Structure 1
Amino acid sequence: MDTPTHGSFIWLEAVCAERNVARRYTVALSRDLFGASIVEFAWGRIGTRGQGRVVSFTSEDEASRFASQLLRRRASAPKRIGVPYREVALTP
């Protein structure tokens, strides 16, 4: 996965009926009204409300590094949950 930039929205899903896995994960990068970089990420079972967090950074580089770190963790899903995440939507 590429390094996310401002205005990016990434939607990932991991689905496997045999393992009863139906997970989603989203990451969005943007700016707030004061110019701070915002990383919003949410996760949960597909079809449920799930959970989410918003983290603010003073630098765009810090926000991109944080988002990349989140996506690297999702890339290790086959080892952790036995099912890989696939990209459902990506907006540059």
Structure 2
Amino acid sequence: MEHAFPSRLIHLRALDPAHNIARDYSIWMSVDLFGDYVVETCWGRIGAQGQRQRRSFPDAPSARRHVKNILRKRRGSRKRIGVEYRLVAAAG
């Protein structure tokens, strides 16, 4: 059982007060008690409860690919919502 990464957090935010855009997006990566790699994403309007999705992966490369796909989509936010997501915090 390879533990390639401990718990990690990536926190992104998209803000444009002129267009009433205030979005949070967090990605949490960890290894559960059974050795599976877990990627949890939380998103929504800043200050609201938002939504949450948790996915489990058998190995670290699969989990990392999933996170890279998420970040690639967030990079395209300027075309979709008119404002870029910015990195607020990264830990781990």
- Structure 2 length normalisation: TM-score? 0.92
Deviation (angstroms), 1:7: 2.2
Instruction: Report the equivalent of 2:67.
Output: 67
The residue type paired with residue 90 of structure 1 is: A
Question: What are the equivalent positions in structure 2 for 1:1-92 lying under 5 Å apart?
Answer: 5-92=5-92
Give the share of equivalent positions with the same residue, in percent.
42
RMSD: 0.9
Q: Give the Cα separation in 1 of the matches to 2:6 and 2:15.
A: 28
Matched AA of 2:85? Y
Amino acid at match of 2:12: L
Amino acid of the structure 2 residue aligned with 1:47:
G
Measure, in 2, the Cα distance between the counterparts of 1:10 and 1:54: 15
In the aligned structure 1, how far is the partner of 2:68 from the partner of 2:28?
Answer: 11
Which digits, 9 at most, give the CA deviation of each residue in 1:50-80, with x for residues without a partner?
Answer: 0001000001100000011001100000111
Larger-Rg structure: 2
Q: Which runs of 5+ in 1 are unaligned?
A: none
| Moved segments of 4+, more than 3 Å | none
